[in-house]
């Protein structure tokens, strides 16, 4: 009789093969939701950038495949895998994941509905995956000539985007916190096309040449005002969102003192404010599912 972990691996492989039949490229994941295969370059004295060109497994999302033989080989090399990740941004679907979080204390679903009203788009019927923490992943597809980047809370607090180079935990995966499952009534659906108005929000703004003035004097002022406008119950969330935007745009260290001051004026302690900004600094640039 197979052990519980072995049963979880067998089940994850079955789900991964089923996803691959739908054109979704997959990789094995561990219980921590991270790629289950370690990098083959981890012991190299000076590892060179490699996205799988070496021919070995262990390159994260770059290992993703729809080929059943390769998928079986990946899982054979990862006997402790209990789940699978679905690579975003790859043809034919060019999957875009809208990750609606609940851990931040915000209602990300309500924030998405507010964006839909403000920017005049409708959230289509599509595949919805329920996470063990109570969050939801909406699966959408993108056009072939557009690359949607990963982002964390850039669209709104609690809404993360999985795009090119990112992955979503597939339904049926077992993690330390529970099992991912497809929401009732959505498993038969194909991922719906991303509404054009929403797609525009997911793309980074075009770069424009600016006069040589201090970034914090203009963009930073808006972020500080955003924090100052916080009411009780949303102060920490607004501060985290503003700090993420500041670090994303390269003005985090310069703007941090003003953000701390603004947060203290709304009622947070200086220690709380600095801790939240430090969390934003650590999160900036790192994207897993």
Question: In the chain, what is the straight-line distance between the N-terminal and C-terminal CA atoms, in Å?
Answer: 32
Q: What pLDDT score was predicted for residue 140?
A: 98
Pick the more confident residue, 99 or 209.
99
pLDDT bracket for residue 208 (50, 70, 90): low
Distance, CA of 252 to CA of 126 (rounded, Å)? 36
Residue 250 has pLDDT above 60, yes or no: yes
Lowest-confidence segment of 8-22, 140-154, 224-238, 256-270 by average pLDDT: 224-238
Q: CA of 66: how far to CAs of 16, 18, 36, 271, in Å?
A: 9, 10, 17, 48
Write phi, then psi, for 69 (nearest 5 degrees): -65, -45
Residue 211 has pLDDT above 70, yes or no: no
pLDDT tens profile 166-197:
999 999 999 999 999 999 999 999 999 999 99
Q: What pLDDT score was predicted for residue 34?
A: 94
Q: What pLDDT score was predicted for residue 282?
A: 81
pLDDT tens profile 2-51:
566 789 999 999 999 999 999 999 999 999 999 999 988 887 777 667 78
Q: Do residues 104 and 237 make contact, with C-beta atoms less than 8 angstroms apart?
A: yes
Residue 1 has pLDDT above 80, yes or no: no
Q: What pLDDT score was predicted for residue 287?
A: 36
Residue 288 has pLDDT above 60, yes or no: no
Distance, CA of 171 to CA of 153 (rounded, Å)? 23
pLDDT bracket for residue 245 (50, 70, 90): confident
Q: What mean pLDDT is reported for the chain?
A: 87
Pick the more confident residue, 198 or 287.
198
Element (H, E) at 83: strand 83-87
Distance, CA of 195 to CA of 200 (rounded, Å)? 9
Q: What pLDDT score was predicted for residue 242?
A: 87
pLDDT tens profile 50-76:
788 888 999 999 999 999 999 999 999
Instruction: Report the percentage of the chain scoring pLDDT > 90.
Output: 55
Pick the more confident residue, 287 or 252.
252
- Read off the pTM: 0.71
Q: What pLDDT score was predicted for residue 289?
A: 37
């Amino acid at each position: 009789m197979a052990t519980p972990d072995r049963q979880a691996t067998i089940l994850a492989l079955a789900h991964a093969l089923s996803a691959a039949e739908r054109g979704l490229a997959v990789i094995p994941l561990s219980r921590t939701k991270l790629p289950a295969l370690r990098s083959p370059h981890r012991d190299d004295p000076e590892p060179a950038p490699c996205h799988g060109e070496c021919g070995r497994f262990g390159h994260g999302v770059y290992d993703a495949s729809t080929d059943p033989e390769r998928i079986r080989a990946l899982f054979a090399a990862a006997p402790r895998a209990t789940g699978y990740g679905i690579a975003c941004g790859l043809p034919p679907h060019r999957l875009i994941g809208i990750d609606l979080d609940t851990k931040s204390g915000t209602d990300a679903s309500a924030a998405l509905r507010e964006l839909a009203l403000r920017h005049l788009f409708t959230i289509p019927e599509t595949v919805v995956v329920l996470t063990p923490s109570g969050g939801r992943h909406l699966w959408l597809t993108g056009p072939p000539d557009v690359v949607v980047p990963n982002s964390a809370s850039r669209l709104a607090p609690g809404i993360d985007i999985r795009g090119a180079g990112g992955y979503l935990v597939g339904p049926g995966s077992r993690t330390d916190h529970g099992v991912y499952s497809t929401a009732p009534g959505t498993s038969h659906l194909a991922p719906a096309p991303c509404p054009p108005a929403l797609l525009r929000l997911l793309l980074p703004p075009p770069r424009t040449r600016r006069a040589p003035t201090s970034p914090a004097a203009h963009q930073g002022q808006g972020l500080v005002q955003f924090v100052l406008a916080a009411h009780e119950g949303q102060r920490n969330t607004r501060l985290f969102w503003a700090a993420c935007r500041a670090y994303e745009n390269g003005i985090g260290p310069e703007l941090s003192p003003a953000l701390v001051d603004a947060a203290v004026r709304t009622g947070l302690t200086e220690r709380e404010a600095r801790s939240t900004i430090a969390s934003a600094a650590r999160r900036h640039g790192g994207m897993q599912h």
